[in-house]
């Protein structure tokens, strides 16, 4: 089962890949037209592009929504082969149907099966252009599988930022950071075993994916059992950040039964929220990564670690609350002071309660 926001995000990727398909189809079509002049000359280019777009949408859609998760547990090379065969069969079917439809509408021969066989099988299926089309489609679906896998590695917007060169020169950004951590992770890990604990972590991160996407958050990185989520610093995003916490708590609550049944515990989490300037840019030669650097991050991590000490689940810094009116559904109370690096005076921290 996949939630609405994840679905929309996947849909967006599917369409991006379909655009690649259509571009390739124009290139490949040129080849095919050259090869099989007598067969194709009379037909229109737009028809073929359309066919390619339809086949592409179906194939990539099937990949992104069904096949990708179906073979999650087996190695990718194996699942690629399996998926390729499956999609191959699928687009064989689709293209036969499409071509059949085309033939039915423009067909004006006799109605006997033999004559049809002669026309359709001989003139379409067994031509070199059709074979080449199949090979090209195979190539394209292979590329699609890789692109799907790679876009997951970069995360939403990651590839776009890379191509646009948003961070090719380091730049200063004002961002909200949220460090999120499962409560009592060591105890849980010891109780249910490390492998099972890891699976629980996986499920937990999967469940908060929907609130992250719904509130336009950006997963910066996973640090051990912790996940760091960030937003650009704006009034709207501050509200989204609080709403994300609220949504996540609810999302985990909804799946309480599942966690109890599967792991015997229901994970709860703590979070530290802070906002400030960071420098963003790419770092690394053999492993390139977008990195946010600055004291803001260290401070956020320290705020998160205060959660345990002050016995509050969610702690916000004064910097985050600056210029911000907390919506009525939340209550915010001052709970203490903390030293921030590079500041002489202590800064106040606040707890967040969800009403």
Partner 1 sequence: MASRRIINYKLIVLANISIIWVVFAFLFLYNIILIDKNDVTGRSLIIFSLAFATIGFVVSAILIFYLRNAFRFFPLWISVLLKMSLTFFLFVLIAFVMLSMYYVFAEKGTFESFLGTFYRDVFLTKAFMIFMFDLAIMTLLTIIVLEVIDKYGPGGFWGMMRGKYNKPRIENRIFIFLDINNATTIAEKLGHTKYFRLLRDFFAEITIPLLANGGEIYQYVGDEVVLSWKNTPLNKQRCFKFLRQSFFLLKRREEKFMKRYGVCPTFKAGIHSGEVTAGVIGIIKKDLVYSGDTLNTAARIRSKCHELEESFVVSGDFLTEFSTPFAYKVNEIGEMEFKGKAEKEKLFSIIFE
Question: Site residues for partner 1, window 8-67 (CB under 8 A)?
Answer: 9, 27, 31, 34-35
Closer residue to partner 1 (CB): 143 or 326: 143
Paired with 180 in beta bridges are 227, 271
**Structure tokens, 82:** 């399996």
Cα 283 from Cα 160, distance rounded (Å): 17
Tell me if 100 contacts partner 1 by CB under 8 A: no
308 in contact with partner 1 (CB under 8 A): no
- Contact between 154 and partner 1 by CB under 8 A: the answer reads yes
**Can residue 117 be called a binding residue for partner 1 (CB under 8 A)?**
no
The CB-of-66 to partner 1 minimum distance in angstroms stands at: 15
Give bridge partners of residue 182 from the DSSP assignment. Answer: 269
- Interface of this chain with partner 1, residues 169 to 198, rule: CB under 8 A: 169-172, 186, 189-190, 194-195, 197-198
Residues 328-347 that bind partner 1 (CB under 8 A): 341-342
Select the span of 56-64, 113-121, 294-302, 331-339 touching partner 1 (CB under 8 A). 294-302
Among positions 286, 325, 328, 333, the unique one binding partner 1 when judged by CB under 8 A: 286
Strand ranges (DSSP E) for the chain? Answer: 171-182, 218-223, 226-232, 269-283, 289-293, 314-317, 330-338, 347-354
- Stretch of 108-116, 235-243, 289-297, 328-336 contacting partner 1, by CB under 8 A: 289-297
Q: Is 282 or 330 the residue whose CB approaches partner 1 more closely?
A: 282
Q: What DSSP assignment string belongs to 243-299?
A: HHHHHHHHHHHHTHHHHHHHHSS---EEEEEEEEEEEEEEE-SSS-EEEEESHHHHH
Whole-angstrom CA distances from 26 to 133, 221, 240 are: 12, 39, 42
Handedness of CA 156, 161, 163, 168 (dihedral sign): negative
CB nearer partner 1, residue 110 or residue 193: 193
Q: Does residue 132 interact with partner 1 by CB under 8 A?
A: yes
Alpha-carbon gap, residue 235 to 323, rounded angstroms: 8
Query: CA-based diameter of the chain, in Å?
Result: 92
113 vs 342, beta carbon nearer partner 1: 342
Q: What pairing do the DSSP bridges indicate for beta strands 226-232 and 330-338?
A: unpaired
CB of 80 to partner 1, least distance (A): 8
Q: Among 44, 46, 113, 289, indicate the residue that binds partner 1 (CB under 8 A).
A: 289
292 lies in the site for partner 1, by CB under 8 A? yes
96 is a site residue for partner 1 (CB under 8 A):
no
């Amino acid at each position: 089962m996949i939630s609405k926001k994840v679905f929309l995000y996947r849909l967006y990727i599917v369409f991006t890949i379909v655009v690649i398909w259509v571009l390739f189809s124009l290139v490949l079509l040129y080849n095919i037209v050259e090869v099989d002049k007598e067969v194709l000359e009379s037909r229109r280019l737009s028809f073929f592009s359309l066919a390619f777009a339809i086949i592409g949408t179906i194939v990539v859609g099937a990949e992104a929504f069904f096949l990708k998760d179906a073979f999650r547990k087996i190695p990718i090379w194996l699942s690629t082969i399996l998926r390729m065969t499956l999609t191959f069969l699928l687009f064989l079917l689709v293209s036969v149907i499409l071509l059949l439809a085309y033939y039915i509408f423009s067909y004006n021969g006799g109605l006997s099966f033999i004559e049809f066989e002669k026309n359709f099988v001989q003139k379409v299926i067994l031509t070199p252009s059709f074979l080449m089309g199949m090979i090209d489609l195979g190539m394209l679906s292979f590329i699609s599988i890789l692109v799907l896998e790679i876009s997951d590695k970069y995360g939403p917007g990651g590839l776009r930022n890379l191509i646009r060169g948003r961070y090719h020169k380091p730049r200063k950004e004002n961002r909200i950071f949220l460090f999120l951590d499962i409560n009592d992770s060591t105890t849980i890990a010891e109780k249910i075993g490390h492998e099972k604990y890891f699976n629980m972590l996986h499920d937990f991160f999967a469940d908060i994916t929907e609130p992250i996407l719904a509130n336009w958050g950006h997963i910066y990185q996973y640090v051990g059992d912790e996940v760091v989520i960030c937003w650009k610093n704006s009034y709207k995003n501050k509200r989204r950040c609080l709403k994300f916490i609220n949504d996540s708590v609810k999302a985990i609550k909804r799946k309480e039964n599942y966690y109890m049944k599967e792991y015997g515990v229901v994970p709860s989490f703590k979070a530290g929220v802070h906002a400030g300037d960071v420098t963003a840019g790419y770092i690394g030669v053999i492993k390139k990564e977008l990195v946010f650097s600055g004291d803001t991050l260290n401070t956020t991590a320290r705020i998160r670690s205060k959660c345990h000490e002050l016995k509050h689940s969610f702690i916000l810094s004064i910097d985050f609350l600056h210029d911000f009116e907390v919506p009525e559904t939340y209550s915010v109370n001052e709970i203490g002071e903390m030293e921030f690096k590079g500041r002489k005076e202590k800064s106040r921290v606040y707890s967040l309660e969800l009403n």
